[in-house]
Amino acid sequence: MKIGLLIIAMLLISLMAICEETLEQQGNMLASEGDALFTSNDYNGAGAKYELALEKYQEAVKQGHPINDKVINMVKNCILTYSKAKNYEKLVEYFEIDNKMNPGNFKTVRNITIVYRKNLKNPQKAIETLLEFNEKYGKFESYELLAKNYSEINDYKNALVWFQKAFSLKSDTDVLKNIAAAHVKLGNNESAIKTYEEFIKTKPENKILEKVYVNLGALYESIGTIDKAVQYFNESLKLKYDNDIALKVLIINYNNKKYDTAIQLAEKLKTKASDKKNVATYYIALSQYYKGEKVNARKNFELLKNDKEYGTEAVKWIDAINSEI
């Protein structure tokens, strides 16, 4: 009797092994069919085969067969294939499966949010995904991404909250800029300015401070406080000379009829940046003209006659000056 039961048990075990092996083999065959379709660029067809293969592998795993690696690879195949097919409903489905298999992977969550927001036009679902991630695995990158997603739907109140949370983890100048921008969008210009001023008081290192000065200058410029804008642009130039910022300050001074200052800045710019030589010469000539130094202005306009960008204007100014003197 005991021998009979043992034989039956062994037969059942053997039968289960055969079933498990058959499931894996079926999955392998379906995966091969999917590979062939993928090679022929039939991505949706390949995806359908990979899905069936995945089901076989998952069923085999449930029965105790150790082929988790094939399950993982098949999920990756589905992601790649549906991405190629631009089948975004299926793509996000398999990103979600991958996320459940590997919780806490920010790269996967970021991809999910991109598909929801950009491809499926469902920003709220992207936000929900990030909120869920941040409850357990929140980090600087995920806080910042959530804030940006709120900004994109013009929810600046929540954007501000999450930008501030991100900044509390890392003193990032781009995030600081976004905090200030959110304040401005909410109509709180003073809070935006205070955000920068409070950070400046912490005495950050110069490479960070230089960027903060530029951003604060840009903020003052955007709200029409030009003197303050120039002040902070100049502070940034003291720490690091930047050709574009220098040109911006030059043009602001010219527009405010501060011609001597504009000329000084333009002369310096000519020595610092060869690619800015002609624009600097143009503003020198303009400033000299409005100072009444028309002969000197004409000499500088003459240098620009053959320039693609300023040549036409230079010739007009030369003709105008010749008619005046």
Q: Tell me which amino acid residue 67 is.
A: I
Token pair 């300015």 is found at 193
225: left (phi over 0), alpha (psi -120 to 50) or beta: beta
**Residue-level pLDDT at 307:** 93
Going by pLDDT thresholds of 50, 70 and 90, the confidence category of residue 18 is very low
Assess whether pLDDT exceeds 60 at residue 14.
Answer: no
What is each CA distance from 66 to 21, 69, 77, in whole angstroms? 11, 8, 19
Q: How far is Cα 92 from Cα 111, in angstroms, rounded to an integer?
A: 8
Average pLDDT over residues 289-311: 95
CB 255 within 8 A of CB 243: no
Does 7 score more than 70 pLDDT?
no
Domains and CATH numbers, the chain: 1-102 (1.25.40.10)
Instruction: Name the pTM for this structure.
Output: 0.75
For 165-203, the pLDDT digits (tens) are 999 999 999 999 999 999 999 999 999 999 999 999 999
The reported pLDDT for the residue numbered 19 is: 45
Residues counted in the chain: 325
Mean pLDDT, residues 96-103 taken together:
94
The pLDDT of residue 67: 87
Q: Are 251 and 283 in contact (CB under 8 A)?
A: yes
Task: Give percent of the chain above pLDDT 70.
Answer: 94
Query: What is the average pLDDT across 17-21?
Result: 49
Examine the pLDDT at 114 and tell me if it is beyond 50: yes
Element housing 5 (H / E): helix 2-39
